[in-house]
Structure 1
């Protein structure tokens, strides 16, 4: 029979048992001790792993909170950015409208003007006499009292090109009639006393810088898309694909998209 001594940590085997059985019991107890020791180590290791997991989870939670804070800050910045984009778009729209209004007013102020291009500049030139001579050649009865002013203006053309002459009439309707006659006139500089100068002289509505840009872009697009007509009437740019197609009015950049 197996008994344990109350004051001893060692196992006591009943000496009355057979020796082989005693050895077996001792071996079993030894194995049990080893198993318990191993289990104790595993438990200790498991506790350590759980502690490490707790620490890692705490770190993860801290990082998660930091990420959430960063996301919250980014969302706040994105909202501010969206608000800024909205404001910029609004300001862009307002600016475009203001530019369009300024251009319209500037063009309206030029409604009685005729721009004459190609006449060479000459020291001491008399632009009134030149205008009178042109009117005679066009067969237009123009009285000098109908002229508000006549002057040369700056141009975006190359330096070697003469500055255009702008003639402003008192009446827009007389200006339209005069320009209609001038557009039928085929005249070169030699016809106005500039010897051996066969450069052509052109007569147009006095367009704003913006509308001149629109006109040039319209001409380029019309040529690319085989449109037949591009012209200006009463300071309005018009495009037409052929004799039967509808007229397209070009008043702004977006209108250029109509030239398809």
Structure 2
């Protein structure tokens, strides 16, 4: 290659180094493609002044992505509105049910004073209490209660019961006694080693006929004491009675007190039931509750 070193522009270039002329068709196609891209793309007014087609194409792609995301957000908002509508309907149904329940309660409260009164409730409660007391008393029909016997620290109650029965003329076999024990809280001992106030002796018998025999013998020998039984140093009177529930025991006590004030002559117990009679010429009255005492 023949060229001058001082020359900035080569004067002569070989055929291999000469640039080939562009094809007129290629130039035409490229220009037309770029023209179509710029011409046929819808550009917003803010991008109309941008001449670079690559920047315009990138901005248009980003706008398309934003449109897709906006459509997804719109769909989510629409589904959320539908769920809110369903929730609103459910809350409305629950509110209707609550209103219905409140209306029922109000109706029952308005009817309650008319159908159920306090006096009726008290009467029912008293009847239930009386029925329970009678059932409890029926479980004690084979029991007797012996009072007035001195209580010691070490005592054989089976032996004491046998001595008391023999004192009133009844012979008890070991098989006739189911169990025997002291009833109630233990009082304190005194200086002589005896209880200050002896608890009653409760005896459960195997048969009611034996219990009735002991009660009849105790009535016949009313006023008998412990003379000759080697139980007490000094003779003491003892008493044999039917065993009562706590309710009947208190009721019997109140009945006797009122009977003394009002001059009632006979107040007794038979088969766990309390009876009162003013005199021999009047009829006997059964007492079940405290109200019966005031009525009688």
- TM-score, normalising length from structure 1? 0.62
Q: Are the structure 2 counterparts of residues 109 and 149 from structure 1 closer, same or farther at C-alpha, using a change threshold of 3 Å?
A: same
| Residue in 2 that maps onto 1:181 | 217
Separation in structure 2 between the aligned mates of residue 128 and residue 156 of structure 1, nearest angstrom: 19
1:244 CA displacement? 1.8
Q: How does 1:57-206 map to 2 (within 5 A)?
A: 83=113, 86=116, 88-154=118-184, 160-185=196-221, 186-206=223-243
* Distance 1:255-1:191 versus aligned 2 partners, 3 A rule: farther
Q: CA RMSD in A?
A: 2.9
Q: Tell me by how many angstroms 1:135 deviates.
A: 1.1
Query: Relative to structure 1, is the Cα distance of residues 85 and 197 closer, same or farther in structure 2, using a 3 angstrom cutoff?
Result: farther
Q: TM-score, normalised by structure 2?
A: 0.55
Q: Note if contact 2:162-2:171 (Cα within 8 Å) is conserved in structure 1.
A: no
Equivalent residues of 2:168, 2:218 under 8 A apart: yes
Retained in 2: the 8 A contact 1:155–1:164? no
Q: Can you give the 5+ residue segments of structure 1 that lack an aligned partner in the other structure? A: 1-75
1:247 to 272, 281, 284: 284
Partner Cα separation in structure 2 for residue 183 and residue 110 of structure 1: 20
The partner residue of 2:269 within 216, 232, 240 is 232
Q: C-alpha distance in 2, partners of 1:183/1:156?
A: 29
Deviations 1:161-193, CA, capped at 9 Å, x for gaps: 211111111111221111111233333345432
Instruction: Say which SS state the counterpart of residue 167 (structure 2) adopts.
Output: helix
Larger gyration radius, structure 1 or structure 2: 2
Asked whether the equivalents of residues 150 and 232 of structure 2 are also in contact (C-alpha less than 8 Å), the reply is no
- Give the CA deviation at 1:88: 4.1
* TM-fit CA distance, 1:97: 2.0
Count of paired positions: 182
Counterpart-to-counterpart distance in 2, 1:195 and 1:237: 32
Structure 2 distance, partners of 1:91, 1:124, is 50
- Return the offset for 1:255: 2.1
User: Residue 192 of structure 1: SS of its match in structure 2?
Assistant: coil
Output the CA distance in 2 between the equivalents of 1:192 and 1:256: 40
- Whether the aligned pair in 2 keeps the contact of 1:113 and 1:167 (CA below 8 Å) is yes
Structure 2: any 5+ residue segments left out of the alignment? 1-105, 189-194
* Shift in Å, 1:155: 6.0
Once residues 254 and 273 of structure 2 are traced to their aligned partners in structure 1, the CA distance between those partners, rounded to angstroms, is 14
CA distance in 2, matches of 1:191, 1:174: 24
